Amino acid sequence: MPGDKAKPLLRALAGEVLARPPWWLMRQAGRYLPEYRALRARSPNFVEFCLTPALAAEATLQPIRRFGMDGAILFADILLVAQALGQRLSFGDDGPRLDALDEHAGIAGLSLAGIVALDPVYETVRLCRAALPPQTALIGFAGSPWTVATYMVEGGASRDFRQVKIWAYRDPAGFAALIELLVEATSAYLSGQIEAGVDAVQLFDSWAGILPEAEFDCWVIEPTRRIRDALKRRFPTVPVIGFPRGAGHLYERYAAETGIDAIGLDTMVPLSVARERLQSLTAVQGNLDPVALLAGGAALERAVASIRAALGDGGFVFNLGHGVLPQTPPEHVAELARLLAQPVDRT
């Protein structure tokens, strides 16, 4: 239930210090789990899989049953919004493919009215809500406008983000119209998730780290602040987590200026910076290297201990610095759950 502060994850997001940190993992549902691979085989089209509530709810619940995380992240994908606005989307072995938008056509082929296509996601939320243990928070999410725009303009993953940056540099007013459409779509989509029962929402800004400061202001901070404000007007008690992956020195301005409740730390954010400069502004979430989880053993144990020792005295949710890698042995996640259940070691 929104605002239900009894859940440990919500207490930590509100800045409360807990004896053991609540945890969840980005990409905690997915290919590293054999039960996910079996479920996924029932619907070869990934977009259809995401938009089939019974399957998506089952994928959401699988990691909770196995590992008992404090947060369940809704199973969906950030690119469903691009498809709902009118772009064709498919997923192949090389990742997502979209019919690239360009600066000449602009947003003429897109329409906000299409977001009713995301209604099945709200049904997934209701199914998850009904099945989750009462202490487990349900986390909704969306991509940030900038990150979703990179995929919409590049037509998929990119190495240098040339097309999307060229558009933003040469025609900032035209590009602003795309970002504006995404701000509206994302605010409506996250509002729908909250109305259906998510407890908190996360904005994934996977490509926040590729912009110079002036463009970071326009295309990352400003749209994030507007989505946050729109959500807070309607749902003042629902926490908003921002994850500006790769933002480096701009992490601090993001935490200070967007108004978000908690900030997702990527793997490279130094723990001293997180503790001294970020945790005083918002709760923090992170930031174990996904490869340390894959590697397991003593390195995993050491990394978990140092993250907890550094961040455990303030608002803190344990997570990875990016998503679980498909090669990760599920036993390592079980080991992580055991480590996090122990009292903190400050030696």
Q: Catalytic amino acids?
A: 27, 31, 40, 77, 151
Taking CB under 6 A as the rule, does residue 70 contact ligand CP3?
A: no
Candidates 88-96, 103-111, 172-180, 224-232 — which segment interacts with ligand CP3 by CB under 6 A?
88-96
Q: Are 282 and 263 in contact (CB under 8 A)?
A: yes
Tokens of 305: 């201990």
> Residues in contact with ligand CP3, total (CB under 6 A)?
21
Which residue, 75 or 122, is less far from ligand CP3 as judged by CB? Answer: 75
- Using alpha carbons, select from 324, 79, 33 the residue that is nearest to residue 204: 79
d(CA 330, CA 63): 10
Helical H runs in the chain?
Answer: 8-13, 34-40, 46-50, 53-67, 80-84, 119-131, 145-154, 162-170, 172-196, 213-216, 222-234, 251-257, 271-273, 290-295, 297-311, 330-341
- Using alpha carbons, select from 24, 46, 34, 11 the residue that is nearest to residue 329: 34
Taking CB under 6 A as the rule, does residue 24 contact ligand CP3?
A: no
Distances 42 to 11, 39, 48, 53 between C-alpha atoms, Å: 37, 6, 10, 13
Among 29, 33, 260, 293, contact with ligand CP3 (rule: CB under 6 A): 29
Candidates 26-34, 107-115, 269-277, 299-307 — which segment interacts with ligand CP3 by CB under 6 A?
26-34
Taking CB under 6 A as the rule, does residue 69 contact ligand CP3?
A: no
State in angstroms the smallest separation of the CB of 309 from ligand CP3.
26
Neighbouring residues of 49: CB distance < 8 A, sequence distance ≥ 6: 40, 42, 43, 55, 56, 59
Taking CB under 6 A as the rule, does residue 204 contact ligand CP3?
A: yes
Among 13, 73, 210, 320, contact with ligand CP3 (rule: CB under 6 A): 73
Taking CB under 6 A as the rule, does residue 83 contact ligand CP3?
A: no
Taking CB under 6 A as the rule, does residue 189 contact ligand CP3?
A: no
Taking CB under 6 A as the rule, does residue 33 contact ligand CP3?
A: no
Residues 295-334 touching ligand CP3, rule: CB under 6 A, are: 323
Taking CB under 6 A as the rule, does residue 66 contact ligand CP3?
A: no
Taking CB under 6 A as the rule, does residue 186 contact ligand CP3?
A: no
Taking CB under 6 A as the rule, does residue 30 contact ligand CP3?
A: yes
Please report the DSSP string for 205-270 in residue order: ETTGGGS-HHHHIIIIIHHHHHHHHHHHHH-TTS-EEEEETT-GGGHHHHHHHS--SEEEPPTTS-
Candidates 73-81, 100-108, 169-177, 190-198 — which segment interacts with ligand CP3 by CB under 6 A?
73-81
d(CA 290, CA 267): 8
Among 8, 53, 96, 286, contact with ligand CP3 (rule: CB under 6 A): 96
Distance of CA 50 to the CA centre of its chain: 16
Candidates 2-10, 24-32, 249-257, 332-340 — which segment interacts with ligand CP3 by CB under 6 A?
24-32
Residues that bind ligand CP3 (CB under 6 A): 26-31, 40, 46, 73, 75, 77-79, 91, 95-96, 141, 157, 204, 206, 323
